[in-house]
Amino acid sequence: TVWLYLFFLPFQLIEPLGYLTILAVAIASFLYLGFLAAGEEIEQPFGYEENDLDLDLFIREIIHVNIDALLSRNTPNSYGALKPKDAPGGDSQGRLADTCKAQIAAKEAQAKQKQQVEVVAVVAEQMLSA
């Protein structure tokens, strides 16, 4: 709809503005298409493109620190369930702590593998286009 509006805009402005219509349409096009591009860019903020938010960094640097801090606390009401099995006061199975760490490690490995596959695909595409 923006393209349709910008197509008909000069016909609406030619009578009141004359030759200034060219400048007015250029400025309006720049603004509207800029808003359109910005809206498309922020529509999907997480991913692996250049302008996307680095969710892997967020998980690695912030979430891991918080999880490690929570797991290292001495919490008498947890009955040792959140502590690793080798920690003092931890239960014999260490179910939650070990499960959380294993799930995080598996997701990191999957993300790293996906990123490697994408890099290989980009390199292959560049080699084929050359």
List, for residues 5-53, the tens digit of each pLDDT value.
999 999 999 999 999 999 999 999 999 999 998 888 888 887 777 878 8
pTM confidence score: 0.41
pLDDT for position 26: 95
77 has pLDDT over 80: no
What does the pLDDT look like over 81-96, one tens digit per residue? Answer: 555 555 555 554 455 5
Q: What are phi and psi of 90, to 5 degrees?
A: -80, 155
